[in-house]
Structures are given as structure tokens and as C-alpha cells.
Amino acid sequence: QVQLVESGGGLVQAGGSLRLFCAASGRTFSSYAMGWFRQAPGKEREFVAAISWSGGSTYYADSVKGRFTSSRDNARNTVYLQVNGLKPEDTAVYYCGTSDGIDYLRDYAVYDNWGQGTQITVSS
């Protein structure tokens, strides 16, 4: 079992940037693909980004492509999400999750460990 703790969220103006962190416990962190999802009030959790276990492959939702960048440091058991050009519609709680698969990383169902989330609020 991997435990995940997200941090780095906050209140920013439109156009601003943040860097989200997802710190993992456990020695098997490097064997997992990692995903970022977000959930706004009254909406379903939606895919934001994913990164393969090695960091060599990344995937993004169309709505964030070109603005968000995912990376990871397996030596530090941490995955990052750099979020730039924030828009009010990016306001949500952001969650990271682990997947021991390599396919369907845009699918919420393939993730089995989740953190508590970190809130991003973007003001217009």
C-alpha cells in the first residue's frame, strides 16, 4: 500500500502558476504510473495528467495541454504537476493516484491509491 500526500495548492489569480506535489511513502513508488485528477464542486472527478513509472511518457487532458506539466523524481518518491496559465475553470481539488498498469491511464478506474487532495482556486 502506498500512501500519498498532495500539497502546493492555493488561491491564485487567473494567469498565475502553482506547483503541486504528491509525496508517496513506500519503496515501490517507482513501479507505479501516477495520475492527476481534479474534482470541482458538483462535478465528477476528471483526468488531468499522467506520467509513466519512468517519467518517460506523459499524458494530458486537452483542457490543460500546453499549460500543465507532470514530472517525477523517483529518488524522492515525489511526482509534480506544474500548472501555468491558470483559468477560473481550473478551480478544483487536485488528487494524485497510483496505477500499477501502463494502459488506460486517463481512466479513473485504473488507480487504486489516492491522496486527500489539494485545493486550487483561481480568481478572475
pLDDT of residue 58: 97
Provide the b/e sequence for 40-52 (b: ≥16 CB within 10 Å): eeeeebebbbbbb
Give the residue with greater pLDDT, 103 vs 18. 18
Interval 33-91: pLDDT, tens = 999 999 999 999 999 999 999 999 999 999 999 999 999 999 999 999 999 999 999 99
Answer yes or no: is pLDDT of 29 > 90.
no
